[in-house]
Structure 1
Amino acid sequence: MSDSALSIAFNPAGIELDPKKGLSRQLYEALRQRVLDGRLGSGSRLPASRDLAAALGISRNSVVRAYDQLYAEGFIEGRIGDGTYVAQLPEKALPRKKLSTNLSTGFSTGLSPGLSTKQGDLPVVTSSKVIHSTALERVGQHSLDLPPGGVPRAFRVGVPAFDLFPFEVWSKLQAAFWRKPDLQQLCYGDPAGDERLRELIAAYLRTSRGLSCSSEQILITSGAQQGISLCAQLLVEPGDGVAVENPGYRAAAHAFAIAGAKMQGIAVDQEGMDCSALAHMSNCRLAYVTPSHQYPTGVTMSLARRLELLDWAERNQGWIIEDDYDGEYRYCGAPLAPLAALDRQGRVIYVGTFGKVVFPALRLGYLVLPKGLIEPFARRRSLDMRHSEVSTQAVMAEFMAAGHFQRHIRRMRRAALSRRNALLTGWPQGIAGVGPMPGIAAGLHMAVPVINLEREQELLAQAKEAEVEINGLSSYWLQGSSEPVDKRAGLVLGFAAVPEADIKAALARLGKIWM
């Protein structure tokens, strides 16, 4: 039988090629699909490239390129002196042919949507089909919402005044690093982080926080969240109790819950977390706190509570995770000494970040670890990411060594204070159902009480219409909290993200719709 006769056995009906797109790619995909869904069975002979080109009205080169790709991927094979055939593929890997008639062409097909290579034809896989472990189930239950995008607006929470960052200085330092990099720094590095940066962080903490630590105790992370996640991975066993502030930083609670911990929300009052409640928790191994500026209420943990918490950790061989996310911002006196500075038994892990001083996208943070945890934490982090990106660490180290960091902190503190004052001064008075503004001695945000949840949601909806970003305090509570729903209501406002003029304009818009 001639090649021309054999080519008739392969009917090109249904292969439609768009001349405006890559012809060889389209033909490759069409033939590949026919092999996968069974229309071209194992051992089927394909026409010669010249005959198929003539049948489709395309160049022979396009057919040859399509065949070459199918050869490379194992879909077809050549037999010397006998032509080109579909490769012998495992029967179990191919669908059972269910013949159906294509009404437009009259040809039978054996289509199987399960093997379709077109995105639109792929079957929908539900979570019940893919979840096969408790870890995956926990991830589904404790995932985070995407943060708000776009340029920050008043009153976005968690964003510093990065419009004041000295980008020109940073870019020069970055360019200097890449102009003549140390070749040693371009190899695989220490998973604990750049040695020089760790030394400078330790020196900064000693002078600015009164935290006595060495560079060996510093572990560089990709932001504070990775540090919290590492603590969850290494210090918590499934079923362990973990105490978190309630309301509190939900992302931390999610990290511990994914590790299998049983979350216990501890009430927060004007002195911070109610540490006496820890005595009633069974099998509690760890407490997560934000003592310098509680997130989101803004209160500072009293010295009595700090000592009580340390005593609990020492007596129960527990761990305290201290998240000092915005400790640089104190508006009366020097920044408070952290809880870790009072620790004498090595039970506190200090979490620090550059995100609230520089900008969140930098993704640069650190842990201060008790000496016994340094090596296991570094080894565990190396499994997630071999080490941190080198240039960011090197540039930050130079930024600190040259004095830019300290100057920038002072500039940021002055700006945050000015923007805080603009919010306090311009805040509309007498808003129905809204309590008085709190005193704000630290941090980058404030929480204002609201009479009930219904009123909170109404105010949030009106603020959104006015293009003002405000968080509801109710969203910071753990699910299943015993506190009455209406007691959880409030408004959380960040005041550092935008200049004073934008704050005044946002307040003017709110005044029109709220009053």
Structure 2
Amino acid sequence: MPESTTPAMPFNPAGIELDRRQGLSLQLFQALRLRVLDGRLGSGTRLPASRDLAAALGISRNSVVRAYDQLYAEGYIEGRVGDGTYVAQLPQTQPAAKKLSTKLSTGFSTGLPTALSTKSPNTPGILSSKVIHSSALQTLEHNHLPTPPSGPPRAFRVGVPAFDLFPFDVWAKLNAAFWRKPALQQLCYGDPAGDERLRGLIAAYLRSSRGMQCSAEQIVITSGAQQAISLCAQLLVEPGAVVGIENPGYRAAGHAFAVAGARLHGVPVDEEGIDCAALANLSDCRLAYVTPSHQYPTGVVMSLARRLELLAWAERNQGWIIEDDYDGEYRYSGAPLAPLAALDREGRVLYVGTFGKVAFPALRLGYLVLPAGLVQAFARRRAVDVRHSEVSTQAVMAEFMAAGHFQRHIRRMRRAALSRRNCLLAHWPKDVDGVGSLPAVAAGLHLTVSVSSLVRERELIAKAQSVGVEVNGLSNYWLPDSHTPADQRAGLVLGFAAVPEADIQVALARLRSVWCK
């Protein structure tokens, strides 16, 4: 990476104040990251050696090393062989355009800038088939949304965590305790934004695990991540609006936007994430849907430079970014990466989270972290559909988190997913005709491997089905009007967390028997 042409000021640790009652490495990481983002630590600034910084701050060297490791992982700093540690070269963001006031599709004024939605307040967020844009109808007709597989989990189902390890006994006790003597106010109509205690615990969890400076007041509880995405589509999209989505990508998100009347434009994904240059070339596009922590389905982790570029795009265009952090808890080296929402200084990011990838899909519990000015509109729009979330699930999850079970379970699930990933990598059949080598997997619950052609992809999937093994084709994740040649869309998407290691080995033996003949 080239050095800065302008000599950077030397690093001065003055002003870094750490609370010794809290995690020192996390505080130091956040302090240094903030200084990089706001320009106090410019590109090319040489950082002190970990031992020297530890001495200057009066903390252990291990705390500094952990902070540096996370900064390395997220792309804020880089090492130069024999020459120390420097702030990485990061893109310079452009100033945002003048803000304009507008409304969401519900007709509720947000006071925030966008130019997306002007639907009538008389029918808040509800579209008849007559007003859905014709291109959206065409997309729906030619790109049918597959029904998620039902029945017990098996290898290699995508999107399913190791919920065989969920502490159902603990959950049952907490659930029984709730219903044994529920508070009367909890049995009345609740806040459409969700249980206040649960929202507070989610905010505290995101502050500690993701570095997001959010509060309970910014959170709206939803019935899973899909409802959160659908709410975004209902309130931020008007018929004919352009929405940029990753291609290949999460098709159910695309369907939600299409139902709202959007004109979907697939944006290519490369080794750093969504192609921001291609996104910027979409005229009148002010909404982008992304999965930066672990791109679905390619598995790419969006680079820091690309994250900053995407945020700059939203600021320039007065647009929105919907960030789906569907499996961000699963990172196998270092802490989970800071989401876009943690880097957002202009209130442009709507963050989608879910408990389904940590607990179990049938829980149907997710949430949105919203810019403060959007919360009321989203809560009121949700009240139109379901009034409020189911009471006991929220209350039990709140107690599950407050008692420390949630954090312990995340650690257990991460270890299990890592072990099951390693089993897949170790026993994968070698030299299968037309199948590329398995990629390194640093995050998430699935991996994607390339296949030489679409014909070969379909052949491999059919043979896998013949021996009871579930394999997904990468070609199914592309928009139907993609310009990428068909054979370049071919691949296999394999979830590795749904079943134990013994079942993975049995499934791989079956694949070997039909793939390697």
TM-score of the two chains, using structure 1 as the length reference: 0.74
C-alpha contact 1:196 1:397 (8 A) present in aligned 2: yes
Distance 2:282 2:329 in 1: 33
RMSD of the alignment, in Å?
Answer: 1.2
Quote the residue 1:261 is aligned against.
Answer: 262
Deviation per CA, 1:445-503, whole angstroms, max 9, x where unpaired? 00000000000000000000010001000000001100000000000000000000000
C-alpha contact 2:133 2:261 (8 A) present in aligned 1: no
Quote the residue 1:222 is aligned against.
Answer: 223
- State yes or no: 1:459 paired with 2:460: yes
Deviation per CA, 1:245-288, whole angstroms, max 9, x where unpaired? 00000000111111111111011111011111122111101000
Quote the residue 2:198 is aligned against.
Answer: 197
Match for 1:133: what amino acid? K
Quote the residue 1:331 is aligned against.
Answer: 332
Deviation at 1:144, TM superposition (A): 2.4
Quote the residue 1:160 is aligned against.
Answer: 161
Secondary structure at 1:266 match in 2: strand
Distance 1:278 1:451 in 2: 28
Deviation per CA, 1:213-269, whole angstroms, max 9, x where unpaired? 000001000000000001001111111111000000000011111111111101111
Q: Which structure 2 residues correspond to residues 64-463 of structure 1 after superposition, within 5 A?
A: 133-135=130-132, 141=141, 144-463=145-464
Deviation per CA, 1:290-312, whole angstroms, max 9, x where unpaired? 00000000010011110110001
Distance 2:153 2:176 in 1: 28
Secondary structure at 2:192 match in 1: coil
Secondary structure at 2:154 match in 1: coil
Distance 2:317 2:511 in 1: 49
What is the total number of aligned residue pairs between the two structures?
385
Match for 1:292: what amino acid? S
Match for 2:130: what amino acid? S
Distance 1:346 1:298 in 2: 27
In structure 2, the CA distance between the partners of 1:404 and 1:132, relative to structure 1 (3 Å rule), is closer
Deviation per CA, 1:177-220, whole angstroms, max 9, x where unpaired? 00000010000000000000000000000000101100000100
C-alpha contact 1:236 1:285 (8 A) present in aligned 2: no
Distance 2:244 2:129 in 1: 28
Secondary structure at 1:419 match in 2: helix
Distance 2:438 2:144 in 1: 32
In structure 2, the CA distance between the partners of 1:422 and 1:199, relative to structure 1 (3 Å rule), is same
Secondary structure at 1:478 match in 2: coil
TM-score of the two chains, using structure 2 as the length reference: 0.73
Deviation at 1:330, TM superposition (A): 0.3
Distance 1:494 1:420 in 2: 9
Match for 2:445: what amino acid? L
Deviation per CA, 1:62-85, whole angstroms, max 9, x where unpaired? xxxxxxxxxxxxxxxxxxxxxxxx
Deviation per CA, 1:335-355, whole angstroms, max 9, x where unpaired? 101011000000000000000
Distance 1:149 1:221 in 2: 22
Quote the residue 1:99 is aligned against.
Answer: none
- Runs of 4+ aligned structure 1 residues displaced above 6 Å come to none
Distance 1:190 1:487 in 2: 48
Secondary structure at 1:314 match in 2: helix
Distance 1:494 1:215 in 2: 33
C-alpha contact 2:133 2:262 (8 A) present in aligned 1: no
C-alpha contact 2:132 2:239 (8 A) present in aligned 1: no
Distance 1:308 1:240 in 2: 22
Deviation at 1:148, TM superposition (A): 1.0
Secondary structure at 2:287 match in 1: strand
C-alpha contact 1:241 1:283 (8 A) present in aligned 2: yes
Comparing both chains, which one has the higher relative contact order based on Cα–Cα distances under 8 Å and sequence gaps of 6 or more? 2
Match for 1:146: what amino acid? T
In structure 2, the CA distance between the partners of 1:345 and 1:327, relative to structure 1 (3 Å rule), is same
In structure 2, the CA distance between the partners of 1:482 and 1:136, relative to structure 1 (3 Å rule), is closer
